[in-house]
Structure 1
Amino acid sequence: MMSYTPAEVQRLPLYRTPALLASVDGLIAAESTRHGGVSPAPFASLNLGINTDDTRANVDENRLRFFSAIGADGLDFASSYQVHGTAVLHATEAGRYDGYDALMTNQPGLLVGVTVADCVPVLIYDKVQRAVAAVHAGWRGTVGRIVQSTLANMQQQFGTRPADCLVYIGTCIDENAFEIGPDVAKQFALSLLQTDPQTGRTCADLKRANAELCLAMGVPASQIEVSPFSTVLHNQDYFSYRAEHGQTGRMLAVIGLKAA
């Protein structure tokens, strides 16, 4: 892992905002990095995951820093204990829920978010109905089409049309590092797999899989942004569960509208 001096760490960003969403008036959309927090190794340093072996005091302080940095001090926050499923929650108030891997809302002043450390975070903004969603898509959620379920739920609840949505496919494990066995591989389209003929090692492209699911729902390609970063290749900036053998922190990807 690349190391930084303390002075260099102070200059690194706590978060990145998707370019596609950066200019939307009143919208907060951010994906955290691993920089700028207080947690010691192996959670160094901006660990935002409650369900880790880090201390709750560290995570609370890190969350305060993150939410302050993105300008969300006065906003409520809704999240869930994620189970790698496909359930979608319509969040109307702040809280820590259980069993959902996607949250959606049209409530101003309420952020929704998901924690990740290799799985794909997907942020959705409906620019007409002013509704948002945050999706956690690991391989199970991806083959279960959770991002399509989320768009369908937004359509039912808010009148969302996929053609009106801006979608950010966030930082996750890359297509050269997400090695899978044959039982998992057979659940992906062949076009999303690559197999090394020398080693027989098969990897899947989770980013492209989720982007294609959005395209199939009717989201225009010009309204989909895909993160250029990898939790493995850029492990100095992002947490990776696989690269760090399970002992690591978690990032947050959040989205929401400021209260009028």
Structure 2
Amino acid sequence: MIKPSDLYLKPDIFKHIPSLVAGVSTRHGGKSQAPYHSLNLGVHTNDQVEIIQENINLLCQSLGIDASQLARSFQTHQDYIWECQLPDYQNGYDAIISTQVNIFSAVGIADCCPILLVDPEQKITAAIHAGWKGSVLGIVPKTADLLISKYHSKPENLLAYIGPCISVQHFEVGDEVAEKFPESCKQKLSNKWHVDLKKHHALQLRKSGITQIEIAPWCTVEHNEHFFSHRKEQGLTGRMLAFAGFQS
């Protein structure tokens, strides 16, 4: 149950880890006016810059962190991964790995799928933005495999959260997109192809050996009163943040 007072959602899979700050923001509790109402965190939207920063500060205050501790990037629907050791705002990364405590990886979303990966043993996190392009390029397994191969995360220890995104019922695609996905992750509805991003990412994670996975039940289109939806709102909307990092 999402309440209008909820600035963010904390996944159940992470709730037993007290030093972990991880979740997905809602569109509630901010200062932005329509069509960005109200907790718009997207710095590349046409909302007022000072209002966006105020919204970011409000979210961070509710999390008990500082906005200066965020690691973010302008996202380009590619498969580039930023292995972050200092908080900053970069360009061109759709996955951010935080290798240090007090650095909180964060990706913007408004229909694309957010995936959070957490290694509670080594206190390493990753935030991933994956629409259909990133999904096809394999940004999710590439990030997971980097955690496993380079940072020696054990797949059985990794926790994964697949957050709110556009659901299969609302994600209609053309033949040229549908053909890039396995049969198990697409279906014909009213003679049109629909893709299940959540299912596809769950399959990718399991192939990487990650079995502890929580999948959010919400759809950004169907539950537009709680989340921003680029498709439903025809591009004129705000952005949520999916974030993860450990406090010292």
- The yes-or-no answer on 1:115 pairing with 2:108 is yes
User: For residue 127 of structure 2, what is the aligned residue in structure 1?
Assistant: 134
Unaligned runs of 5+ in 1: 1-8
TM superposition shift of 1:25: 2.5
- Aligned ranges for residues 248-259 of structure 1 at < 5 Å? 248-259=237-248
User: For residue 167 of structure 2, what is the aligned residue in structure 1?
Assistant: 174
User: For residue 230 of structure 2, what is the aligned residue in structure 1?
Assistant: 241
**Residues 162-195 of structure 1 deviation map (CA, whole Å, 9 limit, x = unaligned):** 2210000000000100010000000000111110
Aligned 8 A contact 1:12 1:36 in 2:
yes
User: For residue 203 of structure 1, what is the aligned residue in structure 2?
Assistant: 194
TM superposition shift of 1:75: 6.3
TM superposition shift of 1:157: 2.9
Q: Which moved more, 1:150-159 or 1:22-31?
A: 150-159
Aligned residues: 247
User: For residue 157 of structure 2, what is the aligned residue in structure 1?
Assistant: 164
Aligned 8 A contact 1:118 1:173 in 2:
yes
User: For residue 77 of structure 1, what is the aligned residue in structure 2?
Assistant: 70
Aligned 8 A contact 1:86 1:100 in 2:
yes
User: For residue 217 of structure 1, what is the aligned residue in structure 2?
Assistant: 208
RMSD: 1.4
Q: TM-score, normalised by structure 1?
A: 0.92
Unaligned runs of 5+ in 2: none
Aligned 8 A contact 1:171 1:228 in 2:
yes
Identical-pair percentage: 38
Q: TM-score, normalised by structure 2?
A: 0.96
Aligned 8 A contact 2:118 2:158 in 1:
yes
CA distance in 2, matches of 1:130, 1:47: 28
CA distance in 1, matches of 2:244, 2:68: 11
Structure 1 stretches of 4+ with a deviation exceeding 3 A read none
CA distance in 1, matches of 2:222, 2:4: 20
TM superposition shift of 1:11: 4.7
> How has the CA–CA distance of structure 1 residues 11 and 142 changed in structure 2, closer, same or farther, with 3 Å as cutoff?
closer
3-state SS, counterpart of residue 150 of structure 2: helix
